Amino acid sequence: MSIGLRSQVKSAPISVAASGDNTIVAAVPGKVIVVVALLLVNGVATAQNVTVKDGASNLLTGAMALGTTAVPMFLDEKSDFEYFSTSNPANNLVLNLSAATQVSGTVWYILE
């Protein structure tokens, strides 16, 4: 990411434990959410799959397995690369959990 964009990067803590859809960044009128980095940790020794979604039904990833030994998943910012983007300003950025166990972390994003 260029130095000029760094001041636009926002972050949000992630602390979810409900199976199914969990909003991690709420929609902002007139803006799409562009994820530039993501850190996730499974907080318990139970298998957990996570899927990143654009709103209720648009999949941005397939199911990704989080390790059961608190090994983090980290997608870090690389150059001008973005990981995910919502397609519509009305869509939340959603983290779907396969099990009702604690998943924590941080998402770094830009509103465009």
Give the CATH number of the domain where residue 104 resides: 2.60.120.340
Query: Would you write out the chain's pLDDT as a tens digit for each of its 112 residues?
Result: 455 567 889 999 999 999 999 999 999 999 999 998 899 998 887 889 999 999 999 999 999 988 776 667 777 665 555 678 999 999 999 999 999 999 999 999 999 9
List Cβ neighbours of 65 (8 Å cut-off, separation of 6 or more).
Answer: 47, 48, 49
Structural domains in the chain (count) = 1
Structure pTM? Answer: 0.87
Separation of alpha carbons 9 and 80, rounded Å: 13
* Structural contact between residues 50 and 98, judged by C-beta atoms closer than 8 angstroms: yes
3-state DSSP assignment of residue 86 = coil
The domain in which residue 16 lies consists of 3-111
> CA angle at residue 6 from 8 to 40, to 5 degrees?
85
